[in-house]
Chains A and B, each alone.
Chain A
Amino acid sequence: MRLEIKDLHVHYGKIEAIKGISVVVNEGEIVTLIGANGAGKTTTLKTISGLRKVTSGAIIFDGQDISNVPAHERVDLGISQAPEGRGIFPGMTVLENLEMGKFHRKNRKAEMSEDLDKVYTLFPRLKERVAQAGGTLSGGEQQMLAIGRALMSRPKVLLLDEPSMGLAPQMIANIFRIITEINKTGVTILLVEQNAQQALQRAHRAYILETGNVVKEAKASDLLNDPAVREAYLGTGAHS
């Protein structure tokens, strides 16, 4: 397996936000964490990418415990994140944002154009906007930029934090289609979503989080048809 979280506990000050979560992400999968606000989805992702400290438990990546590796070194190991709220650099152009995607490069020139081409193939829109400042893009374009930038580091695991946030329905469908496409190129994806409908349709497996605990783990398609899940996360009138 690519990534494994074992009995993870995370605190904000004295408040325990994650109360012993265990998640397994296998090579080539799309795994999604769904749950309500405050369930600990974003905190889990931030802890995997290293922005939050682990209180106890372990994060195993490719057989190695990375709990104490600083965030900026985890990028070089192959973990890349498109953060919540996109986190693009508003004052940098699209190209500069993408170039920031991987700060440490051994062979800058040779790799860069190859990685840029890959991103432009996935997101032709970004190519049209190379010289435009990140802050002036639309929400959907910013999300494309955030994902594209995360791909620049050739990740083995891509962490996506609510890629659908604040986007128009059509753009959400578009982003999710691209997520599947990225997955087909061999990138393992851990996806955090409030839009459970879309996430469950695209993912292979899913975990449901509630106040810092995993309450359910199953195949995504099973959850999509689970009456209790439909009631709680998809809305009674949801159509699949």
Chain B
Amino acid sequence: MKIRNYWNLRDWGAGIWERANRPKRIAIALTSIFLVGLLPFAGASFLATPIAAYDAVLVYPVGIFVLMALGLNIVVGKSGMLDLGYVAFFAIGAYTMALMGTHTGLNTWEIMPFGIGFAMLAGVLLGLPTLRLRGDYLAIVTLGFGEIVRLVVLNSSWSKGPNGIANVPMPPDIGPLKFKLDDQKVFFWVVVTMILLTIWMIRRLSVRRPGRAWEAIRQDEDAAELMGVPTLKYKIWSFTLGAAVGGAAGVLYASKNLFIAPEMFTLNVSILILSCVVFGGIGNIWGVVVGATILGYLPDRIRFISDARLLVFGTVLVVVMNFRPDGLLPRKKREKAIVKKEVNA
């Protein structure tokens, strides 16, 4: 007897996708993107956030959180390395944007490659000595790295220390699309585009050799090495790609916020992004997207209960993780499948 599990949204979604042919898939994808693109217009509905502006909430925290969670998922979900200092790459991207934007006259799109580049460079420099470590040790080192980056910008004169950097330029208009502070639809569409690019990149890599290598490293690193997988190389690649996404998010964040300060890049951010990944379903792109959306959106949606807000937020986290310990949309767990037959030697 087969009991259909209505809570298994992942299989339900995957089923629809698998049964669809190519034109149907394109139609589904385009419709979804179109609907997501319309989200900023839904400000008058039940989705509206009290106090904070709805379209701004969609960009930050929601959009940026999704982007960062996807980046962190490459590191934590795909190759199984616990990174507790992910905020460092976000900070590096943001400070690249702020410093270059105020000093060089380059615009956001021109600075973007630099922000991504510096974040990747930091990823390689941190990764080379530390990725030989595993598990808890790696977590501690990355946690330290996150704090080092924050303390450096807090105590340096070039970063204006705790005062932060103001007057970061907004992105230049793209044709008729104008970036405005009081109407952040265009920012949202830019974030969505970046999210889509990231998802596309992850999906491409996942079905190819890097994806296989990461999967093998996650499941048994020694065995992967014995099979001829250059594990250190692939771990650094995974780390660096995660850093690149974090850096890109940082550049956009600085350019949207117009002001950045060290207190925006605390350990809390790293932990919150990691929570997004775990809450949504570690290793599953769509789980991560859903998780980050909820964790980004919820605190602003319930802002009207002011003081009890974080209590409710925490309770939701605990309750959901209790009922769905693998996240809202967990990755496919084949190792648990019960297809075992009677075995006789």
Chain A residues within CB distance 8 Å of chain B: 49-51, 70-73, 75-76, 80-81, 83, 87-93, 96, 99-104, 132-138, 140-141, 149-150, 153, 167-168, 170-171, 174
Contact = CB atoms under 8 A, between A and B. Distances in A.
Contact of A136 (B219, B231, B340): B340
B231 to A, nearest CB: 7
Q: Which 5 A-B pairs have the closest CB atoms?
A: A135-B335, A75-B228, A87-B223, A171-B345, A103-B228
B1 to A, nearest CB: 22
A72 B231 contact: yes
Nearest to A132: B339
Interface string B200-215: 0000000001001101
Q: Which interface class (under 10, 10 to 19, 20 to 34, 35 or more) fits B?
A: 20 to 34
A171 B337 CA distance: 24
A135 B230 CA distance: 24
A90 B334 CA distance: 8
B contact face: mostly helix, strand, loop, or mixed = helix
B174 interface: no
Contacts of A149: 227
Interface of B: 209, 212-213, 215-216, 219-220, 222-231, 333-340, 343, 345
Contact of B220 (A80, A87, A136, A168): A87
Given A136-B335, A140-B343, A103 B229 contact: yes
B230 A100 contact: no
Contacts of A75: 226-228
A102 B228 contact: yes
20 contacts: A49-B226, A71-B226, A72-B226, A81-B226, A83-B222, A83-B223, A88-B220, A89-B216, A89-B220, A92-B215, A99-B212, A100-B224, A102-B227, A103-B213, A132-B339, A133-B339, A134-B335, A136-B338, A136-B340, A153-B228
Given A102-B227, A103-B227, A90 B339 contact: no
A83 B225 CA distance: 11
Contact of B228 (A93, A104, A132, A168): A104
B219 to A, nearest CB: 4
Given A50-B225, A101-B227, A141 B343 contact: yes
Nearest to B333: A91
A71 B228 CA distance: 7
